Amino acid sequence: MLEISLSKKYGDLIVYDSFKLSVEEGKILGVLGESGSGKTTLLNCIAGLTQYEGNIRKLKCSYVFQSPRLVPNLTVRENLRLICKNEKAVNDMLERVCLSDKAESYPVGLSGGQAQRVSLARAFLFDSEIILMDEPLSSLDLRLKKQIMELFLSVWQSDRRTAVFVTHDVDEALAISHRIIVLRSGEIKYDISPAGQLPRDVSTCAQYRAELISRLL
């Protein structure tokens, strides 16, 4: 269990005041909330990218951002080699995310969905204890979102690494999160662990979906 206890402010703006959260190891936690609710700040505190007051156990973190942030002058394979020198592991991961045919391509030649798959592959290849994801699907269309969520879960099943998934999309959270919290003004306003195997069929989660939406309004 990852126990989080923190306070954080930017100047006079208080983002978190004695905030507490327990994250179960080996599970995917979905974090919902409006802009300014502290979602990205929470990830940055876990990753040690921003200063805060409190206690969070130091972890080796993989971070998947909204944009893929690939090194533009390196091929897909070379981007992954920056994280993992094991050639077999890199090749296996390329196959698992359906990018073997793009191994020698440069980021400029990738579609948005392909680039984000490279970002996910990089996150899993890094020997991390937790994967942090900050709205990684927000720029993708519905078809690509579904495809990448399924790929993510397929790879996740192999090692069941702890993950914290920040999104503003209720359907994304329901599809791939074991537990979902709603943040508002730096506080947990709702906390739910929906039933069902991942990925969930959102069409069967009408009650959960309606409740989450009501908490976000």
Asked if residue 13 and residue 114 are part of one domain, the reply reads no
- Exposed/middle/buried for 157, CB within 10 Å: 0-12, 13-18, 19+? exposed
Q: pLDDT value at position 36?
A: 84
Give the type of residue at 93. Answer: M
Per-residue pLDDT band for 91 (boundaries 50, 70, 90) equals: very high
CB-CB contact of 80 with 206 (8 Å) = no
Asked if residue 138 and residue 197 are part of one domain, the reply reads yes
Overall domain count for the chain: 2
pTM: 0.93
Per-residue model confidence as pLDDT tens digits over 114-141: 999 999 999 999 999 999 999 998 878 8
* CA-to-CA separations, 7 to 24, 54, 199, in angstroms, rounded: 21, 6, 33
- Residues with Cβ within 8 Å of 91's Cβ and at least 6 positions away in sequence, in order, are 100, 103
Q: Residue 148 CA to chain centroid, in angstroms?
A: 12
Asked if residue 134 and residue 54 are part of one domain, the reply reads yes
Asked if residue 28 and residue 76 are part of one domain, the reply reads no
Q: Is the peptide bond before 199 cis (omega within 30 degrees of 0)?
A: yes
Asked if residue 80 and residue 24 are part of one domain, the reply reads no
C-alpha angle 143/146/152, rounded to 5°? 140
Q: How many CA atoms lie within 13 A of 171 on its CB side?
A: 10
Question: Residue 173: is its pLDDT beyond 90?
Answer: yes
Asked if residue 133 and residue 39 are part of one domain, the reply reads yes
SS3 category, 78: helix
Asked if residue 25 and residue 82 are part of one domain, the reply reads no
Give the type of residue at 76. Answer: V
Asked if residue 155 and residue 189 are part of one domain, the reply reads yes
Asked if residue 21 and residue 95 are part of one domain, the reply reads no
Identify the domain containing residue 80 by its residue range.
Answer: 68-127
Helix (H) / strand (E) containing 206: helix 206-216
Q: pLDDT value at position 203?
A: 87
